Amino acid sequence: MDTEKIIDMKPKKDFKVRGIFTIVVLLLLIIILATNSFVIVQAGHRGVLLQLGAVKEGTLEEGLHFKLPFIQDVRSVEVRVQKAQTEQTAASKDLQVVTTTVAVNFHLNPSEVGKLYQNVGDGFKERIVDPAISEALKAVTAQYTAEELVSKRQEVSIKVKEALSKKLATYFMVLDEINITEFKFSTEYNNAIEQKQIAEQQALKAKLDLQRIEIEAKQKIEQAKAEAESLRLQKQEVTPELVELRKIEAQMEAIKKWDGKLPSVTGGSVPFIDVNNLK
């Protein structure tokens, strides 16, 4: 009797274990299916839907989305503004080597990220953006001399932006802004510029000195003319009557200064007379 009871109880115990195991497996399967059936697209991103590895048309907006587990997958792609900064070397119109630091802000076209992912993949910055910056910058730099690159920086920046915008648009990217932060030239060119500035300063100083000398010479000539004209006018005004008047004025002035004593010797038109002999 006891042996039969023991034998009868073993199948019942195995059945319970199998039932629990089955329930656990089903729960795990449900959890796995549930977690693989939904996807969340974060803010500032778009979801690229892949079905058995192929890119499906359209993109997933931000938020929660359903997908077929094990059949569909979602790749999250950022569509916020991104920055690419690079240092490029190019040749100017006058064949000067120019090193330029360029900072570019761009973003992906949200409605076309699927095509971008399909054609380029994740490494679009290294594959597309950096080479496009280099090509656009070299093409525009070749249109200007080294001196013009500095004096017309705003114009250069606008042209680079136009060229780069067209290149990025081909790959469903939008250019927001571009900043050319610096132009660097070779040491030889910088020395040449410095010598040119020194020469220009010296030439300007020499020009100013020449102008000053010319002005001073003209002033002296005008002064001499004025003095000559004054003498000429004075000569024209001298008459015999004026001469006699000047003599009378001189005599009157001498009388005012006379102390009442006669001079012992007189001169001039009157013969010299010794006044003492007259005593």
Q: Which residue has the tokens 């001196």?
A: 147
CATH architecture of the domain formed by 82-190: 2-Layer Sandwich (3.30)
Instruction: Report the pLDDT averaged over residues 62-69.
Output: 85
pLDDT tens per residue, range 224-262:
777 777 666 666 665 666 667 677 777 777 777 766 665
- The whole-angstrom separation of Cα 243 and Cα 87 is 93
Q: What residue ranges of the chain are covered by domains with CATH 3.30.479.30?
A: 82-190
- The whole-angstrom separation of Cα 279 and Cα 273 is 12
- The whole-angstrom separation of Cα 161 and Cα 183 is 16
Strand partners, 183: 100
Q: In whole angstroms, what separates CA 112 from the centre of its chain?
A: 33
Cα angle for residues 69, 71, 72 (degrees, 5° grid) = 80
* Residue 273 binned pLDDT confidence (cut-offs 50, 70, 90): very low
Amino acid letter at 175? L
- pLDDT > 70? residue 140: yes
Which residues make Cβ contacts (< 8 Å) with residue 83, sequence separation at least 6? 103, 104, 105
**pTM of the predicted model, to two decimals?**
0.57
